[in-house]
Amino acid sequence: MNRDLSSFSMRELFLTESETQCRLLSDGLVALEIRPGDPSLLESLMRAAHSLKGAARIIELEGAVSVAHAMEDAFVSAQKGEIALGSAAIDRLLHGVDLLSRLASVESPDEMKEEVAAFVTGSAVQDNASAPPVAAPAAEPSAASGKVEDDSRSLRVAAESLDQLLGSAGESLVASRRIRNFSSDFWRLHSHQRKTAALLEGAIASASAGEDVSSPLRQLQTMIESGDRIVLAGLADFERFERNSSQLSQRLYGQALACRMRPFGAIASSLRRAARDTARRLGREVTFEIRGEGTDVDRDLLEKIESPLLHLIRNAIDHGIESPGERAASGKPAAGRITIEASHSAGFLVIRVSDDGRGVDPADLRARVVTRGLTDAGTAEKLAGGELLEFLFLPGFSLRSEVTEISGRGVGLDVVQSMVRESRGMVRISSDPGQGTSFVLQLPISLSVMKALIFEIAGEPYAIPLARVDRVMSVPTADIESIEGAQYVNVDQSRVGIVDGALVLARPLQNEPREHVDILLLSSGEGRFGIVVSRFLGEGEIVVQPLDKRLGRVRDIAAAALTEDGSSMLLLDVEEFILSVRRLAAGGQLHGITAKSSEAGKAARQILVVDDSLTVRELERKLLSSLGYAVEVAVDGMDAWNAARTGRFAAVVTDVDMPRMDGIELTRLIKNDARLRDTPVIIVSYKDREEDRLRGLDAGADYYLTKGSFQDEGLARAVADVLGEDPTP
C-alpha cells in the first residue's frame, strides 16, 4: 500500500505499525498453540517483536521496548529449543501483546510502568503454574485485534484502488467540460429558431397582403430541415454523453466503494483470540475455523459486526460446546468445532456462525419462556422450533440461571439482533439438540447504496431491500378469503395471510372497494405473509441516508432514501414491520382490505396494559378493547419494558406496585429512552395520596388515576386525551 505519510507524527506512525505487528503476534501465538514449536511461526513471531522493539526505541517508548524485548527473548529461546512455549506461556505472551497495544495508544505510558515491570520480571518464558489465568475477553476488541480504524484517523487504501479512482475522477472532469458544447449547441439552435420564426412571420405578412409566398415558404422549409438536422445531431451527441456518463458514474462509484471495502479477515485476529481465551477460561477444547477471509465487507459494516460476532463465539463456547468428558460420553471428539463463514449471496453479505455443541433444549427454553411470563404453557407447547428460538433474541433473556463474567445477563443475542436491524439485515437461528446451533446473519454488502423495490402506500413512496422480497403479485379482490377475521390469498397451493400496509403504518385506508390488490410477499422465520400496497413503482438503486439522530427510533422505518431521479422516500425496517404485523394479528386487528380509513384510527393504535393482577389486567383490557384499541398485556414492569423496547405502542397503562420492576421505574425508563420518550404513560394505582400522585407525575407520567376511576370512564377519557381523540366510544 502506498500512502502519503508526510503529515503523520512519529507517534501516529508507531501506532499504525503496532496495530499491524500486534495482529501478527496475536494470530501467530494462537496458531503456535495448535502447532507447538513450528519454526516458521517462531521466526515470524520473533521478527514481529523485534520490529516493534526497534520502532518503540525510535520514539523512546521504553515500556514498549522492554515488553517487546522480553517477548523476543522468549521466541529466540524457543527457536533454540531451550524452552517450550505451552499454553500457560502463550497466555503470558498474549498478555504482552495486549500491553504493547495499550502502550501504543494511551496518552500517559508512564502510568503503566508497574504493569510493564511485572510482565518483564514475571518469567514470561516459563511454562509453569505461575502463569496468570486468562482474563475474561472484553466486550469490545482491543487495538491488537486489528479493529477497523476510526473515521477521524485514516483509511487504508490499496495503491491500485486509489490509482483507478483518480483515473476515473480525471475522466469525469474531462467529461464535465463537454457540457459547454451542449450549451453552445442550444444557443445555436435558439438563434436558428428565431430566424425561422422571423421567416414565418414574413411569409404570413406577405400572404395577408396577397403577395406571392412561394419563395419565403421554400426558405422556411429549408430552415426547418436544417433545424431538424441540428436537433438530431445534438440528440445523438447527448445520448452518447448520457451513456458514457452513466457508465463512468457507475465505475466511479464502484471504485469509490472498493476503497471502503476491507476483507472479512481484517477482524479474524480478534475472533480467533476470543475463541482461544474463552475456551481456555472455561476448560473447553475448541477447533476454530474461519472461511471466506477474503470476502469484501464495507468498513463501517465490518466495524459494526465485530462485537456481535465476538458475542456469538463466546455464547457458542459457554452455552454450546460441552466439556471434553461430556463430549466423549456423547461419542463426540473431545474438541468442539466452531466455524465462521463469510460469503456474498444475492447481493448480500452472509455470515454463518455454527458449532457442533449441545444445541438448545426446547423443553428448557419453553419452561423459561413460561416462567418469565412471556406466554402461557399451552401456547408455549404449540410454538414451532423457529418461533420458540426467537425468544432468545429478547432483551434480558438468558438460559443461564446464574450470572458469570461471560454470560447470564441476557445481552449477547440482543446485541446481535440490534446490530443486524440497524444494518437493515436479518438474523436466523436454528438448533439441533445434541448436534449444535447455527446463526445466519444476512447483511447488505454496502450500507450506502442498495437495490430496492419501490412502492406506494396511501400515496406515500416506500422502499424495501430487493433481496427481502419473495414475490410481487396482483390478486383479484374476489379471490381473498376471510377466515376468523383474518384474510388470506392462495399462493403456490398454500394459504398466505395478508394485511394492508396502510394499517401497519397507521396511514389512511382506501375507502373504495378494489377489484384487484397489489401484494408484496415477504418471508419471516415462521413463513410468508403479504403486504397490500397502493401500487408498485418498480425496482431501482437507492442511496440510503440515515435518519437524523434527533428523531430517535422511528417505528417500522430503517432510513431515508433517494432514488436515481432524486426523489425521497422512506426505507422500511423489515424485521420491525414483521413484528408490527404479528402484533396486529395477535390483537385481532387485521381489518379487511376494503375497510374505510375512519375505522382504522383506533384499530391501528396499540395500548400496553401493565398490571400484576390478572383481574385488573383483564378488566382494563376489555374496556380498551371495547373502545376499538388493540391491547397487549404485561405482567410486571420488566415484562413491559421488554415489550416496549421491541413493540410499537401508542400509550402505556401501568400499575405502580409490581414485582421485579414497579410502574414508577418503568415510567422513568420509557421517558428517558430516545425512541420511547413521546409514548404517553397513564398510571392507574390504588395509592391515592397526593404525594403518590406527584411521585408518578415527577417520573414523567401523563396521567395518574386511582383504580376506581376507569370504571366511570376515567381511563377511557385519559387514553383518548393523551392520544388526541374523541373520548366517545
Reported as a single tens digit per residue, the pLDDT across 500-525 is: 888 888 777 766 677 888 999 887 65
> Which pLDDT value is given to residue 157?
63
Question: How would residue 139 be classed by pLDDT, with cut points 50, 70 and 90?
Answer: very low
Question: How would residue 166 be classed by pLDDT, with cut points 50, 70 and 90?
Answer: low
Average pLDDT over residues 412-421: 77
Instruction: Look at domain 605-723 and name its CATH class.
Output: alpha beta
Please give the Cα distance from 525 to 544 (Å, whole number): 26
Q: Which comes out higher in pLDDT, residue 127 or 49?
A: 49
Which range, of 230-239, 246-255, 315-324, averages the lowest pLDDT? 246-255
- The grid coordinates listed for 398 are 438468558
Average pLDDT over residues 576-592: 68
> Which pLDDT value is given to residue 214?
84
Alpha helices in 390-487 (DSSP H): 412-422
Which own/partner pairs from 125-129 qualify as long-range (CB within 8 Å, at least 24 positions apart)?
125/70, 125/73, 125/74, 125/77, 125/78, 125/83, 125/85, 125/89, 126/83, 126/89, 127/83, 127/84, 127/85, 127/86, 127/87, 127/88, 127/89, 128/88, 129/88
Looking at the predicted structure, is the pLDDT value of residue 153 above 70? no
Please give the Cα distance from 3 to 163 (Å, whole number): 12
Q: Is 366:384 a contact under the CB 8 Å cutoff? A: no
- pTM metric for this prediction: 0.56
Please give the Cα distance from 677 to 682 (Å, whole number): 13
Average pLDDT over residues 413-441: 84
> How many other CB atoms sit within 10 Å of the CB of residue 569?
19
Q: Which comes out higher in pLDDT, residue 155 or 537?
A: 537
Q: What are phi and psi of 121, to 5 degrees?
A: -90, 0
Task: Please name the CATH architecture into which domain 448-595 falls.
Answer: Beta Barrel (2.40)
> Which pLDDT value is given to residue 287?
93
| Residues near 252 by beta carbon (within 8 Å), at least 6 away in sequence | 165, 168, 169, 172
Average pLDDT over residues 334-356: 90
With vertex at residue 501, the alpha carbon angle to CA 500 and CA 502, rounded to the nearest 5 degrees, is: 90
The rounded Cα 17 to chain-centroid distance in angstroms is: 31
- The grid coordinates listed for 681 are 404513560
Q: Is 502:591 a contact under the CB 8 Å cutoff? A: no
Average pLDDT over residues 682-707: 83
Tens digits of per-residue pLDDT, 182-201? 777 778 787 888 888 888 88
Which range is most confident: 326-330, 538-542, 644-648? 326-330
Looking at the predicted structure, is the pLDDT value of residue 618 above 80? no
Looking at the predicted structure, is the pLDDT value of residue 286 above 90? yes
> Which pLDDT value is given to residue 148?
41
Half-sphere exposure of 432 (CA within 13 A, CB side): 6
User: What DSSP assignment string belongs to 347-395?
Assistant: TEEEEEEEE-S----HHHHHHHHHHTTSS-HHHHHH--HHHHHGGGGST
Looking at the predicted structure, is the pLDDT value of residue 149 above 70? no
CATH 1.10.10.10 fits 1-132, yes or no: no
With vertex at residue 568, the alpha carbon angle to CA 562 and CA 574, rounded to the nearest 5 degrees, is: 75
Which range, of 73-77, 250-254, 516-520, averages the lowest pLDDT? 250-254
Average pLDDT over residues 644-669: 86
Helix, strand or coil for residue 573? coil
- The grid coordinates listed for 20 are 499491524
Looking at the predicted structure, is the pLDDT value of residue 597 above 60? no
Which range is most confident: 312-321, 468-477, 499-508, 705-714? 312-321
Looking at the predicted structure, is the pLDDT value of residue 335 above 90? yes
Question: How would residue 1 be classed by pLDDT, with cut points 50, 70 and 90?
Answer: very low
Helix, strand or coil for residue 158? coil
> Which pLDDT value is given to residue 343?
92
Question: How would residue 585 be classed by pLDDT, with cut points 50, 70 and 90?
Answer: low
Question: How would residue 604 be classed by pLDDT, with cut points 50, 70 and 90?
Answer: low
Looking at the predicted structure, is the pLDDT value of residue 353 above 90? yes
Q: Is 98:64 a contact under the CB 8 Å cutoff? A: no
Average pLDDT over residues 151-177: 62
Q: Which comes out higher in pLDDT, residue 390 or 351?
A: 351
Please give the Cα distance from 470 to 519 (Å, whole number): 11
> Which pLDDT value is given to residue 455?
92
Looking at the predicted structure, is the pLDDT value of residue 338 above 90? yes
C-alpha closest to that of 442 among 515, 527, 342: 342
Which range, of 10-24, 158-172, 498-512, averages the lowest pLDDT? 158-172
> Which pLDDT value is given to residue 487?
79
Exposure b/e, 297-308, CB count within 10 A at least 16 = b = bbbbbbbbbbbb
Q: State the average pLDDT for the chain.
A: 79
Question: How would residue 633 be classed by pLDDT, with cut points 50, 70 and 90?
Answer: confident
Average pLDDT over residues 426-455: 85
Average pLDDT over residues 25-48: 89
> Which pLDDT value is given to residue 720?
85
